[in-house]
Amino acid sequence: MGVLPFLLVFYLFLTADISPSNTLIVTSALILFSILMGFTLLRQSADQLSMLARETSIPQGIKGVKPVQLHIDGELKDIASNFNGLVERLDQANQDIQEQNIQLLRYADDLAQSYDQLKKEELLRTNLSRYIGNDLVEQIMRSDGEQLLQNQRKVITIMFADIRSFTAISEQMDPEDVVAMLNEYFSIMVEIVFKNNGMLDKFVGDQLMAVFGHISSEVDGAKQALLTALEMQQAIDRLMKKRARKNLPIFHVGIGINTGNAIIGNVGSDNRMDYTVIGNTVNIAALLEEQAKGGEIVIGEETLTHLPKSINVDKRQELRAKSCAQPIVCYRVISKKHLAVQLHNNRSKKKFSLFHPAQAGATVGC
């Protein structure tokens, strides 16, 4: 539009008879017209750029960006289209981020629940480890969680261990020394109970009560209880030698073991529960413990039936109790180290065997 008028003047100047003054006037008019037309076109483009800049601006604090709707031509239309495409991609990215945030919140909630569950399991492990050994704790944690805590009637083996003449010994000692002695003694005894898959039921003063066969079979329970008693007597002998070297009071322990049908379950009140054993089997075990002198182990007749035939019994002893219509048959076991070692070596085998009492240096009788 700017060049064609000048070409037209040049053509007229060459072909027509036009004076130079007229040519100058026409040229000036054409120049003014070209300037006005150019300014108009530039102004229109500038207005479109201003509108595009205004529509594509993002005010501070505005979260969402909407596509622009402009009626423009040329390169500016391409710019607006590219901006709208960018806005769409940003919206999609924002939606993806929001979905990921929701997923992360779910993951965080799952992690928090898992952490709480792990804390509960760790607390349960800690509480269970105060009553039973770590091997049984792992078995219970891998099970449905109800095996230990369900109420049931079962053939189990009960063991009582009691310090002989404890009252007379404790009266000659300071309270701090009595507590220290009991803590040292119980720490050793409980470790042996747990090692042989026993469950610590309770402490009654200087008396310890443990349960065997509550998870394993009744035969294994009787074997584990006897092994525990033998190892206890050996450990007590070592402890007393240690105390004697320090000029500390020494003592001996009597142990009673009985096998029979009993109820094992949760007993107590709403605010205090004990997982314990009740039944006449427990009473008989306590009676057998009373018959055991220091360093002795007294077992019931049913316990003996679950032990190998290699244990020879010279004779039996019958006890009378008000709670039992029939006499209570028991046997006194006095053993050496070899018998406990043999029990320990064979407790994991299918065939459980003992040295003959004469070979082990032990005597069995009552």
Q: What tens digit of pLDDT does each residue of 280-292 get?
A: 999 999 999 999 9
Q: Tell me the per-residue pLDDT of 147-204, one tens digit each, with 9 for 90 and over.
A: 455 788 899 999 999 999 999 999 999 999 999 999 999 999 999 999 888 988 889 9
Task: Say which residue, 32 or 159, is predicted with more confidence.
Answer: 159
- Predicted TM-score (pTM) of the model is 0.60
Q: What is the mean pLDDT of the chain?
A: 78
| pLDDT given at position 93 | 84
Of the pLDDT bands very low, low, confident and very high (cuts 50, 70, 90), residue 144 is low
Q: Give dist(CA 108, CA 117) in Å, integer.
A: 14
**Packed helices 20-56 and 4-15: angle between N→C axes, nearest 10 degrees:** 170
pLDDT of residue 65: 62
- What average pLDDT does this structure show over 42-60? 68
Secondary structure class of 158 (helix, strand, coil): strand
DSSP-derived secondary structure for 286-334: HHHHHH--TT-EEEEHHHHHTS-TTS--S--EEE--TT-SSPEEEEEEE
Q: What is the pLDDT of residues 210-227, one digit of tens each?
A: 999 887 788 888 989 999
- Residue 354 is predicted with a pLDDT of 35
User: How much of the chain exceeds pLDDT 70, in percent?
Assistant: 69
